[in-house]
């Protein structure tokens, strides 16, 4: 997926989104309710970034965030009667913020994608780590259930 050059961002102090990972979120602040409504009416993309330490003093404003985040697409949304939302965001691609647009109550970031392609050596190492993880899980799960393998449909890089 090609990311648009400007996306809304949702900064949080302790939540990280990764590509191909699903993240459930409860949206309750007015500015982020507007963000979700706007995203649902367009391409459904929201970027997640981490707030930098000390954000509390300016939380209601635009406190500093780390410049690298992950864009996600809203795969599920549940509007609640009082205007809040429960959504599920699926990570799609890492990005770097290169500027901000302050025209909305929520934050909009000018971004550039940060592709992450693994080379053959890294892919081989990832496959070995997967095999080790499966062996460790098998040892832990031996007394709990008969199925000890991870689904082969989960790509090694995602795992």
Label residue 146 by pLDDT band (50, 70, 90): low
Total number of domains constituting the chain: 1
Evaluate whether 48 touches 70 at the Cβ level (below 8 Å).
Answer: yes
Label residue 122 by pLDDT band (50, 70, 90): confident
Across the range 108-124, mean pLDDT stands at 84
How far apart (Å, rounded) are the C-alpha atoms in residues 43 and 3? Answer: 10
Q: Give the pLDDT confidence score for residue 155 in this predicted structure.
A: 66
To the nearest whole percent, how much of the chain has pLDDT over 70? 84
Q: Per the structure block, which two tokens stand in for 76?
A: 């599920």
Residue 86 inside a domain? The answer is yes
Residue 149 inside a domain? The answer is no
Residue 145 inside a domain? The answer is no
CATH at residue 97: 2.30.130.40
Query: What DSSP string runs through 50-115?
Result: EBPTTGGGGTTS---B-SEEEEEEEEEEEE-TTS-EEEEEEEEEEEEEEEEE-SSSSEEEEEEE--
Label residue 154 by pLDDT band (50, 70, 90): low
Residue 76 inside a domain? The answer is yes
Q: Could you tell me how many helices (H) and strands (E) the chain has, helices first?
A: 2, 6
Pick the residue with more confidence: 139 or 65?
A: 65
Evaluate whether 134 touches 150 at the Cβ level (below 8 Å).
Answer: yes
Label residue 57 by pLDDT band (50, 70, 90): low
Q: Give the pLDDT confidence score for residue 83 in this predicted structure.
A: 95
Instruction: Give yes or no for residue 147 having a pLDDT over 60.
Output: no
Residue 63 inside a domain? The answer is yes
Residue 139 inside a domain? The answer is no
Residue 132 inside a domain? The answer is no
Label residue 2 by pLDDT band (50, 70, 90): confident
**Which residue segment(s) compose the domain that 48 sits in?**
6-113
Q: What is the mean pLDDT of the chain?
A: 86
How far apart (Å, rounded) are the C-alpha atoms in residues 61 and 120? Answer: 44
Residue 55 inside a domain? The answer is yes
Q: Give the pLDDT confidence score for residue 67 in this predicted structure.
A: 95
Q: Give the pLDDT confidence score for residue 101 in this predicted structure.
A: 92
In 3D, which of 88, 110, 85, 90 has the Cα closest to residue 99?
A: 110
């Amino acid at each position: 997926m090609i990311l648009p050059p400007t996306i809304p961002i949702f900064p949080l102090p302790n939540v990280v989104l990764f590509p191909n990972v699903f993240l459930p979120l409860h949206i309750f602040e007015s500015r982020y309710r507007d963000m979700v409504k706007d995203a649902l009416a367009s391409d459904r993309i929201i970027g997640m970034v981490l707030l930098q330490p000390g954000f509390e003093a300016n939380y209601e404003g635009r406190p500093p965030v780390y410049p690298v985040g992950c864009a996600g697409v809203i795969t599920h949304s549940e509007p609640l009667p009082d205007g809040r939302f429960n959504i599920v965001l699926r990570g799609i691609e890492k990005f770097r913020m290169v500027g901000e647009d302050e025209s909305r109550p929520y934050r909009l970031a000018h971004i550039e994608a940060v592709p992450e392609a693994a080379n053959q050596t890294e892919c081989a190492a990832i496959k070995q780590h997967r095999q080790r993880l499966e062996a460790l899980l098998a040892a832990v799960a031996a007394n709990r259930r008969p199925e000890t393998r991870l689904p082969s449909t989960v790509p090694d890089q995602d795992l």
